[in-house]
């Protein structure tokens, strides 16, 4: 059972974004948050043609190579990520194995040439972090109005609520050992 989450900054990250994510984890998952030391982004995972990092390699690196205080870990980066046949991803996780990664690169309004909006960035980063941690704990995508709803664009991130639906909340409680079956 997971009782805490280690947040592992990868590369350049904003502390205010890390703090917002930590607050969302504490509020919505009721798990202790442990702040780990910042790690460099391994340059071998960077694709210079795309100008992005390979998300699958980074999440496996987090699982296999990075020491952390908690079995549940979340890597956070400002770097742009891509996976498989997708142009970009907001995050990725290893289902049921306690490892997740999120990038706030494309969650920031400034990426789209819009004015900076920290409140919106914090909310988006919390949503995607809680979504990826949900997968890492064992949840799958959900069709309800729920944080576990798949988001293919920043507009879809904005549209989903900052909460787990009742079904996913029940599953989370079971997966985290908070209730008996």
Distance CA 153, CA 72 (A): 26
Q: Which of 123, 132, 140, 156 is catalytic?
A: 132
Q: Which residues contact 162 (CB under 8 A, 6 or more apart)?
A: 24, 28, 123, 126, 127, 130, 147
Asked if 50 and 21 touch (Cβ cutoff 8 Å), the reply is no
57 phi, psi to nearest 5 deg: -65, -40
Let me know if 132 is a catalytic residue: yes
Asked if 17 and 120 touch (Cβ cutoff 8 Å), the reply is no
Burial class (CB in 10 A: 0-12, 13-18, 19+), 133: buried
Beta strands 99-103 and 91-94: pairing type?
antiparallel
Q: Record the tokens describing residue 82, joined without a space.
A: 């891509």
DSSP-based three-state secondary structure for 23: helix
- Residues annotated as part of the active site: 132
């Amino acid at each position: 059972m997971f009782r805490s989450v280690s947040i592992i900054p990868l590369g350049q990250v904003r502390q205010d974004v890390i703090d917002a994510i930590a607050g969302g984890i504490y509020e919505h998952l009721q798990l202790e948050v442990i702040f780990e030391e910042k790690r460099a982004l391994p340059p071998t995972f960077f694709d210079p043609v795309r100008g992005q990092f390979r998300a699958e390699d980074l999440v496996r690196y987090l699982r296999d190579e990075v020491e952390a205080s908690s079995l549940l870990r979340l890597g956070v980066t400002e770097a742009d990520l891509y996976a498989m046949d997708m142009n970009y991803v907001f995050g990725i996780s290893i289902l049921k194995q306690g490892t997740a990664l999120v990038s706030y690169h494309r969650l920031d309004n400034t990426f789209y040439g819009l004015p900076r909006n920290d409140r919106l960035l914090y909310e988006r980063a919390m949503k995607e972090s809680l979504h990826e941690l949900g997968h890492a704990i064992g949840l799958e995508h959900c069709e309800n109005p729920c944080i576990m709803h798949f988001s293919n664009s920043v507009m879809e991130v904005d549209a989903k609520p900052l909460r787990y639906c009742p079904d996913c909340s029940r599953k989370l409680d079971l997966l985290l050992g908070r209730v008996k079956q």
